[in-house]
Structure 1
Amino acid sequence: LKIDNSFIHDMLTSADDRHIVEGVIQLAAIFNRKVIAEGVETLEHGAALRALGCRYAQGFGIARPMEAAAVPDWCRHWHDDAAWRQLDPGAAALDIQMK
């Protein structure tokens, strides 16, 4: 299941959007489905999603669009990003989702 970026964007300031995000994550768990959050733009979004049990995300807070040739190097350094690693010590906070 993919959570639309409009809900993710406002989840930090809108209780309604946060409840929708939380509900989608809970439904995905009940039906044994993966859920991905679209539009993760800040560490705060990542931390909130992680706390709600969302392990997959995409958005500018993770990476900007890049040429295909740059992806392997970015992947090698992703797990070394200290700011994201602090959200989940010992691992990247959110798993990488590539299209």
Structure 2
Amino acid sequence: MPNGLTSIGQGAFSGCGNLTNIIIPDNVTYIDNVAFAGCHSLRSIDIPKSVKRIEGGAFENCDKLTSMNIHSSTVIGQYVFDGTPNVKITIVN
């Protein structure tokens, strides 16, 4: 993703079946609804401290997602992990 990116839009990567890893730039502040929904190969992701809000369903049905680091100040919407049964979320300060 380009370094100038400040948000990830609704459904931006939804259904990207071959996406296994993603690095979110430090200046992203917002992840919109279902941004990564249905990314069945996504395994882990680190959400930078700059992300202030993750909207509903952003990571729904990412069934291989097992690891996510999220900063303690990030607001998480409803159903963000719906259908993502194996994710282990680590809250970092």
Pairwise TM-score range, normalised by the shorter structure: 0.3 to 0.5
TM-score under structure 1 normalisation? 0.33
Larger Rg over CA atoms: 1
Larger strand proportion of the pair: 2
Larger helix proportion of the pair: 1
